[in-house]
Amino acid sequence: MSELETIVLAHLQQWEDVKEEIRVKYANRDASVHALLQAQIENYETLVTLGGTFWNEAREEEWYVFGPLNEAERIEFVKSKYKSHYAYVQLNALFEELRKKAAMHFAKQARLQRKLEKEQKG
């Protein structure tokens, strides 16, 4: 496992460790949830940048490798509607999509590494 994978997994685990607590606090209308959510927004924003960026020719803009579709609009919704339970729902969806994108990225990297090693041996 690469150092980047270890870091990504640690950030994802931070979310896993508190997401149920956040859900329950929203259900109970506990205002202390806002600080927890803010910390996880920052966690997400750090996490999404870890994979780097690439140039999207079709859109003529830079995208995050780990960034889900419509990531910018969706994280802005979470930030602006943080008092709503739907902010939690959206942030949870963003983390889940990011987890899948990161897993695909690391699997692709591992396949390329194995292919290179095979070519060097043969």
The token pair at 60 is: 């003529």
**pLDDT at residue 122 tops 80:** no
The residues, any chain, with a CB within 8 Å of residue 87's CB and separated by 6 or more, are 37, 77, 78, 79, 81
Task: Please return the burial class of 42, using the count of CB atoms within 10 Å of its CB with bins 0-12, 13-18 and 19+.
Answer: exposed
Is 56's pLDDT higher than 80? yes
**What pLDDT sits at residue 83?**
94
Are the CB atoms for 109 and 115 separated by under 8 Å?
Answer: no
Q: What is the domain extent for residue 75? A: 3-121
* Percentage, residues of the chain above pLDDT 90: 80
Q: How many residues does the chain have?
A: 122
Pick from 12, 85, 87: which is nearest to 43 by CA?
12
What is this structure's pTM?
Answer: 0.89
Does 109 have pLDDT greater than 80? yes
Q: In the chain, what is the greatest distance between 2 CA atoms, to the nearest angstrom?
A: 63
Count of the separate structural domains present in the chain? 1
